[in-house]
Amino acid sequence: MLDERLQRVSEFITGRKMLDIGSDHAYLPIEAVSRGIVQYAICGEVVKGPYESTVRNIERENMTDRIEARFGSGLEVAKPEDAVDTVTICGMGGPLIADILQSGFDHLGGFPRLVLQANTHTYPVRKVLVALGYEIIEETVIQDGHHFYEIIVAEEGRADYSETALTFGPILLDKREAAFIEKLQRELEHQQNIYESLKNNSSNTTRLDEVAATIHTLKGVLEQ
Compute mean pLDDT per 10 residues along the chain, 224 residues long, and list them: 89 98 92 97 95 96 97 96 97 96 95 96 97 98 92 96 97 96 96 91 84 95 92
Task: For residue 168, tell me if it sits in a domain.
Answer: no
Edge-to-edge strand list for the sheet holding 67-71: 67-71, 40-45, 17-21, 86-92, 113-118, 147-156, 134-144
Give the pLDDT score at 204.
78
- The domain in which residue 206 lies consists of 182-222
Backbone φ/ψ region at 145: left (φ over 0), alpha (ψ -120 to 50), beta: left
189 and 134 both lie in a single domain: no
Task: For residue 70, tell me if it sits in a domain.
Answer: yes
Give the pLDDT score at 28.
96
**Is the whole-model pTM more than 0.85?**
yes
Give the pLDDT score at 91.
92
Give the pLDDT score at 115.
98
15 and 108 both lie in a single domain: yes
Task: For residue 169, tell me if it sits in a domain.
Answer: no
Task: For residue 141, tell me if it sits in a domain.
Answer: yes
Identify which of 80, 73, 77, 131 has the alpha carbon closest to the alpha carbon of residue 102.
131
Residue 58: partners with Cβ closer than 8 Å, 6 or more residues away: 26, 30, 43, 64, 67, 69
53 and 134 both lie in a single domain: yes
Domain boundary among 129, 162, 195: 162
35 and 108 both lie in a single domain: yes
**What is the CATH number for 62?**
3.40.50.150
How many domains are contained in the chain?
A: 2
114 and 42 both lie in a single domain: yes
122 and 157 both lie in a single domain: yes
CA-based torsion, 211, 213, 216, 218: positive or negative: negative
Backbone φ/ψ region at 67: left (φ over 0), alpha (ψ -120 to 50), beta: beta
Give the pLDDT score at 131.
97
Give the pLDDT score at 199.
84
Task: For residue 176, tell me if it sits in a domain.
Answer: no
8 A C-beta contact, residue 115 and residue 9: yes
Give the pLDDT score at 117.
97
Give the pLDDT score at 200.
84
